[in-house]
Amino acid sequence: MVELAPKSPFDREKQFAAKRRKVILSAASAFRRRGYHNTSMRDIGEVLGLTKAALYYYVKNKEEILFESHLMAYGEMDEILKMSQTEAQSALDYLELIFRNFVKLLTQSGVSILSDVDSLSGERQSEILKRRQRIERAVTKIVKQGQADGSIRGGDARLHVFFFMGALNWLNVWYDNKGRVTGDEIANHFSLQLRRGIEE
Amino acid sequence: MVELAPKSPFDREKQFAAKRRKVILSAASAFRRRGYHNTSMRDIGEVLGLTKAALYYYVKNKEEILFESHLMAYGEMDEILKMSQTEAQSALDYLELIFRNFVKLLTQSGVSILSDVDSLSGERQSEILKRRQRIERAVTKIVKQGQADGSIRGGDARLHVFFFMGALNWLNVWYDNKGRVTGDEIANHFSLQLRRGIEE
DNA sequence: AAAAAAATTGAACCTTGAGTCAAATTTAAT
DNA sequence: ATTAAATTTGACTCAAGGTTCAATTTTTTT
C-alpha cells in the first residue's frame, strides 16, 4: 500500500502510470490463469487491495485492461525482435536466440500472451491481431532467411513458425512458476527442440 | 430440418442422442472459434435452427455442453492412443503416427480441443484435467520408451511432450478449414517437425 | 382422425457482474 | 492547520444472458 515517498513535485503522472501498469499486469496474470471472463473486476481489485470501483480511476473499462495487456505482451516481443542480429550467426542461431528470449519473457516476467482476443471488439481486436501477425511475419521472415542461408530446412515457412509458436502459447497454459522446472531449463529445452525441428 | 425418416420403433433414443450430439459438436465448434463466454445459448441454437429454450430439451445447462465437448475430444484422442502399436516400429515411429492422427482429428473432424477448462466448476473441471493428464502421461510414456529404445533423444520427457502438444493446441486457434493449407499438409509437416525435434 | 408423446417456443424470471456517481477519505501542498 | 487535489469507496443502476415453464406446434402411434 505504501510506496517509496515521492518528493519532486512531478512524479504525479509517473505515480499514476506506475499504478495503472500494476493494475494491468496483475489483471493480465489473472486472465492468463483463470481466463478473461472468469475474472471479475472485483477479483482484479482484491489482489491489489482495491475496490472494483477504484479500478475505474485507472482504466476506462475492463476491455481496456485486456487490450493493454495484449499491447504490453506484444510490446515486449517487439523489443526482443528488435535485438540486433550479430552478423556472424546464421538465421537459425538468431531464431533460436529470439525464441529463447520469448520463453524467458513468458516464464520470468509477469508478461503473458493472452488468447481472449475474441473478447475485444472491433478496432481493438483487429489492432491486436495485426500486432500478432506482425510478429509472426517477422519470425517467418527469419525462417525464410534461414532457408536461404542453408541453416533451416525447406518446407512451408509459416508452418514451421506455427509449430513452435504453438509451443510458446501453450506454455502460458501449463507453466507455473512454482513448478519444479525452472524457466531456464525450459528455455534450454525448448530452444533445442525448436532448432532440431527445423534445422537443415 | 428434415432428416431421414426413422421407421423402427426404437430409434427414439438414437434420434435423441444423435441430435444431442449435434448440439454439442456445433457448440464446441463455436466455443473453439469465439470462446465459451463469447458464445451465447442463443448463438448455439441459431446455428441449428432452434431457440435457446429448445436446447434445454437436450442438455441440462450450458456448462454441460462444454463438459461434454471436452469429453468428446478426449474420447477421440483415447481412441487414437488405443491403436495397436506395430511391433516392428520404433517408439518414435509410433509417436509420429499418433501425432499425425491427432492433427487429422483436429483439422478434419469437427472435434476440437478446448481450453476453457476454468469455466467448468468443481468435479467436472477436475475430471477433464484428469483426462488431459492421462493423455499426456500416455504420450510421455511413449517418449520414454523411445529414449529407452534409442529412437528419441534424452532430456526431460515431459518437456518434449509439452512442446509438441502445444503445437497441437495452438492449431486449434489458427487453423481454419477454408485456408489454403490442407489438413494433410499440416499433418505431414507437423509430424516431420515433431520427429526432427526429438529424434536421437 | 384422434390421442398421446415428443419437440419447440415465447415470455418471463433471476443472477451476475460491469459500470456510475456523489460522498468520504487519504495525501500533498501552502 | 488548512486547503486543494488525488484517491478510494459504498450503494446503486443496468444489461446480458442463462434458466424455467406453461402453452403450442409437430410428429408418431393406434
Unique residue bearing C-alpha cell 428434415 = B2
Which residue has the least CA–C1' distance to nucleotide D21?
B53
Dmax over CA atoms of chain B, in Å, equals 59
Whole-number pLDDT of residue B5: 40
Of B171, B181, B199, nearest to A166 by CB-CB distance is: B171
Whole-number pLDDT of residue B4: 37
Query: B170 CA to chain A: closest CA distance, Å?
Result: 5
Which residue of chain B comes nearest to A136, CA vs CA?
B174
Q: Round to whole Å and give the CA distance between A65 and A24.
A: 6
Q: Round to whole Å and give the CA distance between B140 and B158.
A: 6
Answer yes or no: do A166 and B169 touch at CB < 8 A.
Answer: yes
What is the three-class DSSP state of A162?
A: helix
Give yes or no for a contact between A67 and A120, defined as CB atoms under 8 angstroms apart. yes
pLDDT digits (tens, 9 = 90+) for B137-155: 999 999 999 999 999 999 9
In angstroms, how far is D9 C1' from A64 CA?
22
Which residue of chain B comes nearest to A170, CA vs CA?
B166
pLDDT at A4 over 50: no
pLDDT digits (tens, 9 = 90+) for B107-127: 988 888 878 899 998 899 999
Is the CB of A63 inside 8 Å of chain B's CB atoms?
Answer: no
Answer yes or no: do A167 and B167 touch at CB < 8 A.
Answer: yes
The answer for A35, left when phi > 0, alpha when psi is -120 to 50, beta otherwise, is left
Answer yes or no: do B189 and A35 touch at CB < 8 A.
Answer: no
Which residue of chain B comes nearest to A32, CA vs CA?
B118
Instruction: Enumerate the H helices of B41-122 as residue ranges.
Output: 41-47, 52-55, 62-82, 91-108
Give yes or no for a contact between B85 and B151, defined as CB atoms under 8 angstroms apart. no
Q: Round to whole Å and give the CA distance between B109 and A30.
A: 33
Whole-number pLDDT of residue A110: 80
Whole-number pLDDT of residue A9: 52
In this prediction the pTM is 0.89
Protein-strand C interface by C-beta, 7 A:
A 1-2, 5-6, 9, 39-42, 52-53, 56, 60-63; B 12, 15-16, 19, 45, 49-51, 53-54, 56-57
What is the three-class DSSP state of A199?
A: strand
pLDDT digits (tens, 9 = 90+) for A74-96: 999 999 999 867 777 899 999 99
In angstroms, how far is C10 C1' from B20 CA?
22
Higher per-residue confidence, B80 vs A176? B80
HSE toward the beta carbon, residue B37, CA cutoff 13 A:
17
Answer yes or no: do A36 and B37 touch at CB < 8 A.
Answer: yes
Q: What is the 3-state secondary structure (H, E, C) of B114-142?
A: CCHHHHCCCHHHHHHHHHHHHHHHHHHHH
